[in-house]
Structure 1
């Protein structure tokens, strides 16, 4: 018998014994939430399907709004109703404020030293405080408003010059959001110079971001069968790919950091972070490290670009499918803004019907359909069910927003439901109303929610105000494919390909350069 065969048999025996110990001999004081019967070893992994938020929504219809699964050897509980989500994210928020271990956070995100995956504690509070004060505060958002406005203006001019050629809208939106964010973060565009030109560093960065999105969506068996030898063997090669990608990101971000240390002008977020390195921010006298700075930069680009561009793409797709709603939004924009200029952020609060449209977009197309996972620090009881310590929590944001017991005709695009006289006239999307929580809720709510809202609303309002839209290849509106492709963010299965038809006077598109 070869050494490889001996190793394989040994691993199989260890896994089987671990399975018996963790599943057969362990008893709980109260029943676990209901759920499908798990398979030996792999648990309920086959039940997740290719589009997990769809599969989990169907399971919730059968077993109820609080669902228990075992993925490998990991306990997972899924919240699929607003009331259950509130129990986890409001009543028991403190108990579910940390993230479970995962290979992506370990190998790509600087071993949990970032904001998104850091354990709940003093270091996470430090990072949250710094970003809240210097990047996402009302003052910071106002200071950086001209940058957002300028990048959306560049996008608009590019669309106005497209002529008869169709464009893939999602790609252009991603360039716009990434460049707006990179100018705020370190004072320069990532994708070219704003005139459609690119360079090798821009292409490298784009490739890295795309690879992160792919790797983050890959299943790594070592995350669910916590036996160290599986992590060490890396049978699927996922960890190896992540380590190589991390090295590329670290070199890229490290070069930018060193450049700023030598030539900092103090006008962007990275310069601010560098200036804060010697300050004590937490009660233990902790200071910001270079690693945490690079991890923050990584977070912003992986969490703050695709989310905004994909949501805007969904918004335009829905409005193309509903021409009467599109015409009503354009009528409101013409009334409030006029036709001699483009929309500004200061116009947005006065666009009441448009705000209802955007809430409906966030309801039907949350950028993160399954919330980023949390983990229980202690055992607890939810709705009479026992939730063990170290249980992973997933909130099915997508299913909650389509709950027929809450929403009338939940699959229909109806902005009127958020207007006076509608079913949810006072609901917001900022984590206060659990029926629609596209940014999450509680302590680990999306840190960049305010920036994301502004960017998505500004891009969508500008595109609707500035253009009429015609689908490429003569496709009729009712035939537009609205299928989802599951990944780190909720992307369209078929990218939106359109002809932008300018509807304003030519001078209106030239106010921003």
Structure 2
């Protein structure tokens, strides 16, 4: 018997209505279980409310909705953490569940995320990379063995500044080049940047451009169905920039592979260590983990391990490590030191106190050595204060819930993105007295915040993150920041050009992957040590 067309339409319409009804009911129940948050626009959600300075916008929203709030950014559900108590829940209590990584589209270029210690999925392969980085690359023994390379590069920079005879110094550019060569010596046992060589100058330009492109807001991150269009050309630009970095490191890798000389362990650089580790059977790393998995997960795990292995060989095993070391080790270090110099020049009394400490510990007849750093409490306090007030990564890197969990009485569903606003935590007046002021003294012995450190155990100050996904390069970054900053302060007096006063300094910032100083810090150095020392 034929069904009348009208009746068929009625049935289909009723079915569609019921499906929509239950879908919206499910979404409403899910929303009720999530932390509170502002209502958003259709389709766009809360994207418009973020503006050009998301760290500040999220801080303002957290004041109204609390330290754990939910936003809908396009098609993505995001939970934002804005207090040390909630950060502790994320990085300690539920660290194993929230150790996933929400990968931005920019970092999927050339399968970058598949073999990246920063962006890789939390699992056996990531744990293998983490072990190499902590045991082989950034261990105290390895860093101690390479101490002379850092010293020589910093001394070289001080000598170049001295030889320029009082010319205006662009602090960011100088520190960036120093960091590049310092890392180049630690990785390849050679300097990689020569300002007079256009070929090496291209490396600096590539890294700077990559940071700009990767830091742009990308529609694809919020609306994944636009991926095939790449409307802002982010993926295409990142493909080009990653390839340039891979080509750069390939020259060093191939040259080292062609050499038959075996170096002693004490003489090995990072390239030697990573070339040694590439002989390990990466397949077994994944297979051993599969033994403990249920049968339902084996197929997906095998596919993932295959992707990891493919990505390793596609990037010649070591290329991606070096690319991440150069990007993370130059940009963040440069930004931190520039902010530290700017804040100290802007506060002459605090600058004089730091310099007086250096004169007492180091004296005026030699340069600063790494062995001096542990005896410079005020310098350490100043760096901590920069980490608090001028944190380089205001929102850290995005985490992802690998399964559902409960925080503060609210449910965080699987695949939810979790962002931690450390910039907001640095301005919490319940933790910090006069939080907008640059006050290193708050970290000195006897003060209420003196015991707070930045190594991931005190959640009031976590510029490097905390927990499993904490930045593995922290030991190296800490040494570099303190040594370069101490050397600049100890070797030279600094004054602003063109008769500019401290009060006239531009202290505004630009939001991106890092929170950089909007206007480069330029200052005129005057030698303060006997000239033969330089």
Superposition TM-score, scaled by structure 1 size? 0.90
CA distance in 1, matches of 2:408, 2:239: 41
Correspondence for 2:164 among 137, 162, 165:
162
Deviation at 1:27, TM superposition (A): 4.0
Shift of 1:261: 1.1
Equivalent runs, 1:17-28 vs 2, <5 Å: 25-28=26-29
1:26 deviates by 2.3
Paired residues of 1:407 and 1:423 also in contact (CA < 8 A): no
- What is the DSSP-based 3-state SS (H/G/I as helix, E as strand, rest coil) of the residue aligned with 1:498? strand
Larger Rg: 2
**Selected match of 2:82 from 80, 83, 88:** 80
Query: What are the residue-to-residue correspondences of 1:10-409 with 2, within 5 Å?
Result: 25-28=26-29, 30-107=32-109, 110-192=112-194, 197-227=195-225, 230-263=226-259, 265=261, 266=263, 267-280=268-281, 282=285, 284=287, 289=313, 291-409=316-434
SS of structure 2 residue aligned to 1:501:
strand
- 1:417 partnered with 2:418: no
**Structure 1, gaps ≥5 residues long:** 1-17
- Comparing 408-417 with 247-256, which one deviates more in the overlay? 247-256
CA change 1:236–1:24 in 2 (3 A) is farther
CA separation in 2, counterparts of 1:104 and 1:151?
32
Q: Distance in 2 between matches of 1:327 and 1:109?
A: 49
Question: Which shows bigger deviation, 245-254 or 149-158?
Answer: 245-254
Q: In terms of mean alpha carbon deviation, does 18-27 or 385-394 score higher?
A: 18-27
Pair 1:450 & 2:446 matched: no
1:20 CA drift (Å): 10
Match of 2:533 in 1: 508
Deviations 1:355-406, CA, capped at 9 Å, x for gaps: 1121111111111111100100111111112211111111111111111111
Write the deviation string for residues 18-45 of structure 1: whole angstroms up to 9, x where unpaired: 9999867524465321222111111111
Q: 1:243-275: CA deviations, max 9, x gaps?
A: 222332332233332222113654321122112
CA deviation after TM superposition for structure 1 residue 203, in Å: 2.2
- Residues 109 and 298, structure 1, Cα contact 8 Å, conserved in 2: no
The secondary structure found in structure 2 opposite 1:78 is: strand
Between the aligned partners of 2:224 and 2:429, the Cα distance in structure 1 is 38
What secondary structure is seen at the aligned counterpart in 1 of 2:379? helix
User: Residue deviations 1:137-187, cap 9 Å, x none?
Assistant: 001110111111111111111222232321111100000011100111122
Which stretch shifts more, 109-118 or 339-348?
Answer: 109-118
User: How much is the aligned-residue C-alpha RMSD, in angstroms?
Assistant: 2.1
* 2:515 counterpart residue number: 490
Gap runs ≥5 in structure 2: 1-18, 289-304
Deviation at 1:77, TM superposition (A): 0.8
Give the structure with the larger helix fraction: 2
Distance 1:466 1:175, change over 3 A: same
Give the deviation of 1:320 after TM superposition.
Answer: 0.6
CA distance in 1, matches of 2:43, 2:421: 25
Q: CA deviation at 1:67?
A: 1.7
Within 2, Cα distance between the matches of 1:276 and 1:388? 37
Superposed CA deviations along residues 198-245 of structure 1, whole A, max 9, x for unmatched, are 323312212211121011111221221232xx2112222222222222
Query: Counterparts of 1:93 and 1:71 in 2: how far apart (Å)?
Result: 24
Distance of 1:183 and 1:422 partners within structure 2: 39
Conserved 8 A contact 2:384-2:443: yes
1:22 to 1:174, Cα distance in 2 relative to 1, 3 A: farther
* Matched-pair contact (CA < 8 Å) for 2:107–2:214: no
**Alignment TM-score, normalising by the size of structure 2:** 0.87
